[in-house]
Amino acid sequence: MAAISEKALNQLSELFHTYLSWTPEKAAGERVLVAYTGEITQQRIDNLIKITENAIIDSGSKRKVMKRVCSVLIECLQNISIHGTRDDDGKTNSFYILLSDNDTYTVITGNLILMEEANLLSYKLDELKKLTTAELRKLYIETLCNENFSYKGGAGLGFLTVAKKAEQPMEYSILPIDDTFAFFTTEVVLSR
């Protein structure tokens, strides 16, 4: 694997700070409830989930909403932990932000991926966006019953779970950094 350049890490940091910067939406009441940048491990996922649970409850939402948001967050963070590109020390470089306004929560994640994986990932996510709620449920059940696992151990349920729980199709972007790496960001909107 090619080493992750300092340039790529700096650009990831800039992207994180761009999401946190002032926007008209933030001026209209959108606020950052949780922001994290760094390595994603299972222990870190557990800690971020606890912080997120508390932030959602403290913002006045019910446990049912908190569980739905945290379910989506778990899938997004596990996706980074399992599939994110690792640096020479074996660490994933990524970020997570939870935004809130009067009506919604938005889960934003970002990490580095290999360019060679970008086209397949984009294709899969675009296909998910085309499915109706009923089609998503059917595909979820079929995938759950299927015993074919990827070489990284997953059955492909992560993004399906996210698509089922979100009120709007998951938005994503893949921005090339160089011939080897790209930024992969997701935004999932959930009702309060």
Cβ distance 137 to 160 under 8 Å?
Answer: no
What pLDDT, on the 0 to 100 scale, is given for residue 156? Answer: 63
Task: Report how far residue 36's alpha carbon sits from residue 75's, in angstroms, rounded to the nearest whole number.
Answer: 16
Instruction: For the chain, list the domains and their CATH numbers.
Output: 6-191 (3.30.565.10)
Mean pLDDT confidence for 35-40: 93
What pLDDT, on the 0 to 100 scale, is given for residue 141? Answer: 81
The tens digit of pLDDT for each residue in 141-192 reads: 887 777 554 444 444 678 888 888 888 888 999 999 888 889 999 999 999 9
Task: Report how far residue 69's alpha carbon sits from residue 98's, in angstroms, rounded to the nearest whole number.
Answer: 10
What are the structure tokens assigned to 89, written together? 């020390």
Task: Report how far residue 76's alpha carbon sits from residue 94's, in angstroms, rounded to the nearest whole number.
Answer: 11
Average pLDDT, the chain: 86
Contacts of 115 (CB under 8 A, 6+ apart): 176, 178, 179, 180, 181, 182
What are the structure tokens assigned to 39, written together? 């390595």
What pLDDT, on the 0 to 100 scale, is given for residue 153? Answer: 44
Task: Report how far residue 75's alpha carbon sits from residue 157's, in angstroms, rounded to the nearest whole number.
Answer: 9
Least confident of 10-24, 101-115, 142-156, 168-182: 142-156
Nearest to 72 by CA among 93, 98, 95: 98
Residue 45 has pLDDT above 90, yes or no: yes
What are the structure tokens assigned to 132, written together? 């109706």
Cβ distance 179 to 115 under 8 Å?
Answer: yes
